[in-house]
Amino acid sequence: LSLSLSLSLISSVSSLSYSLIDSLLGSTRRRYRLNRVTVYMESEKELMNKAKRPVDSRLCRVSGSMTEVMEIQAENPTCHVLFIPGNPGVVSFYKELLESLNEFLDGNATITAIGQISHTSKDWESGRLFSLQEQIDHKVDFIRHELEGVKVPIILVGHSIGSYISLEMLRKCSEKVVYCIGLYPFLTLNQQSKKQSLIGKLAASSLLSASASFLIASLRLLPLWAARRLVSNSIGAGWSDTAVEATCTHLRQYHTLRNVLFMAMTEFRELAAEPDWDFMRENQKKLAFLFGIDDHWGPLQLFEEISKQAPATSLSIEREGHTHGFCCTVAGSVWVAQHVATLIKDRFSHL
């Protein structure tokens, strides 16, 4: 099959969590006002030139599964931020977000990001496929075992389907989790979205999923430098080097692609129902959500519905063009990191 078809399939898979971004945003200083939260944004050049504390990457076994983790340890943390990625759940996409968040929290928080099972650079699970519920259980086990000794409050930050996973973690770990922030949240199906309908049909067919995964994985035949150039000149035009690298190391893996689509299939089944409004009302003062303009995963009608059903929830709309795939650019990662840090500091004044 043609290279253009393979690239089209990559784009379809990537659209599960990452919108295509044309270019990194400009470098002018501006002030933004979001839901009574004012954040001062520095120029992209200044932000990129700042020395940030780098994240540490490690592997650990959680629920018996090898898991990719990225972390920045604070010497005397006042809280622990646990980040849950979307789908694809590749933590390395969020490197700039984690480093920027650490900076904006003044190094006062330990920050951990935990990847989805088998959304990894190596097939540690021998081809096994994991559902949304298994991914949720995996994250709950991480809190109960890996973070068992953490004495400071735990704050969950989730992106896309990671927002839904975070809500379920709050439900099961309410004694340790004090706050939950959802970024561009995917909490229920958008029946008006043609993209979701197409992805749902692809994910629901094991034959189509396997075929698409095989075609994209065939790009592993390219050397890494060629794959980087291919991604940078196609779906990754305007992406950061980190996002391009994560795409080349993880999304050319057959087992990762199969798990991305299998997880998506189970997401679509689970999220066919409305959100648990009773639970969200009970915990509304612990919740915050950031929505984007024209985001079919977290449409503004969901924003409006949350504001009616759980009015004490902190709700914001990002209007600067970073989109659902904010983590694919430095500018988007920094902007979202500062927004998250502002929410946390406003909620916990001691930070």
The DSSP annotation for 252-311 comes to T-HHHHHHHHHHHHHHHHHTTSPP-HHHHHHTGGGEEEEEETT-SSS-HHHHHHHHHHST
pLDDT band at 50 (very low <50, low <70, confident <90, very high): low
Note the pTM of the prediction, 2 decimals.
0.87
Q: What is the mean pLDDT of residues 280-302?
A: 96
pLDDT at 53: 82
Q: What is the pLDDT of residues 199-219, one digit of tens each?
A: 999 999 999 999 999 999 999
**Residue position matching structure tokens 């900076």:** 103
pLDDT at 351: 59
pLDDT at 349: 78
Q: How far out from the chain centre does Cα 292 lie?
A: 14
Range of lowest pLDDT (67-71, 122-126, 345-349): 345-349
Q: What is the mean pLDDT of residues 24-37?
A: 33
User: What value does the mean pLDDT of the chain take?
Assistant: 88
Whether residue 46 has pLDDT greater than 80? no
Q: What is the mean pLDDT of residues 136-140?
A: 98
Q: What is the pLDDT of residues 228-243, one digit of tens each?
A: 999 999 988 999 999 9
> Could you tell me the two tokens for 301?
């009608």
Query: Can you tell me the distance from the alpha carbon of 145 to that of 83, in angstroms, rounded to the nearest whole number?
Result: 16
Percent of the chain scoring above 90 in pLDDT? 82
pLDDT at 346: 94
Query: Can you tell me the distance from the alpha carbon of 164 to that of 177, in angstroms, rounded to the nearest whole number?
Result: 15
Set out the domains of the chain in order of their start, with CATH numbers: 28-197+276-347 (3.40.50.1820)
Most confident of 20-24, 37-41, 267-271: 267-271
59-62, long-range: CB within 8 Å, 24+ apart, which pairs?
60/146, 62/114, 62/138, 62/141, 62/142, 62/145, 62/146
Please provide the size of the chain in residues.
351
pLDDT band at 23 (very low <50, low <70, confident <90, very high): very low
Q: What is the pLDDT of residues 70-92, one digit of tens each?
A: 999 999 999 999 999 999 999 99
